[in-house]
Structure 1
Amino acid sequence: MEAKQWTVQIYITESGDDTQARAVLSTGGTAESDSVIGRGIARRNPMDRPIPEIGDELAASRALEDLAIRLHDVAADDIVDLAGPVTR
């Protein structure tokens, strides 16, 4: 059995009350299709206390959720593209 390692890196940027996150999944290949990117954003309500960690957590979780949906879509597209009629 071959062990594979995929890596997810999360990049977070803050600007005022907005926090943006980008989650990048790399499967280790060299083709453009060997990575999938998810994005998330969090906006602090001006009435809330400024706690940057909460914005980081929300934006990162939303980026990971978006990444999961995009990865699922890639798999579904592969199934459609690669599954042909079964011959007997």
Structure 2
Amino acid sequence: METIVRCTVDMEFREAGPLTQAAAVLRMHDGTELKAHGVTSRHPDDPGQQRVGEEVAAARALHDLAAQLLEKAGVDIEELTHTPAHLSH
């Protein structure tokens, strides 16, 4: 039997001068939410490219989110099996 569930990731960006910040929220089907952040800073000599800053900040936020999700999965596995879980990136 196949089961399909839906999770969503919402991403919000803030820019202040050379800084771009990304905030990501993963909402899982069971109501669990994980929040992550990513930041990038444009070099003063670089031209202002809003999209590039958003891409880098988003990638960093998603990387943080992935690490949190692996950690959560490890804890969940350990609670079920009562043995250490070894998950890697």
TM range (shorter): 0.7 to 0.9
Distance 1:79 1:47 in 2: 48
Amino acid at match of 2:16: S
Q: What's the counterpart of residue 67 of structure 1?
A: 65
Q: Which runs of 5+ in 1 are unaligned?
A: none
Q: What's the counterpart of residue 25 of structure 1?
A: 26
The count of corresponding residues between Structure 1 and Structure 2 is 82
Q: What's the counterpart of residue 38 of structure 1?
A: 36
Distance 1:35 1:14 in 2: 24
Give the secondary structure class of the aligned counterpart of 2:35.
strand
Give the Å deviation of 1:2: 2.0
Distance 1:59 1:17 in 2: 12
Give the secondary structure class of the aligned counterpart of 2:48.
coil
Larger radius of gyration: 1
Distance 1:53 1:84 in 2: 45
RMSD (CA atoms): 1.3
TM-score relative to the length of structure 2:
0.84
The one-character-per-residue Cα deviations of 1:28-61 (angstroms, maximum 9, x if unpaired) are 334xxx0111210010011111111110110011
TM-score relative to the length of structure 1:
0.85
- Identity across aligned pairs (percent)? 35
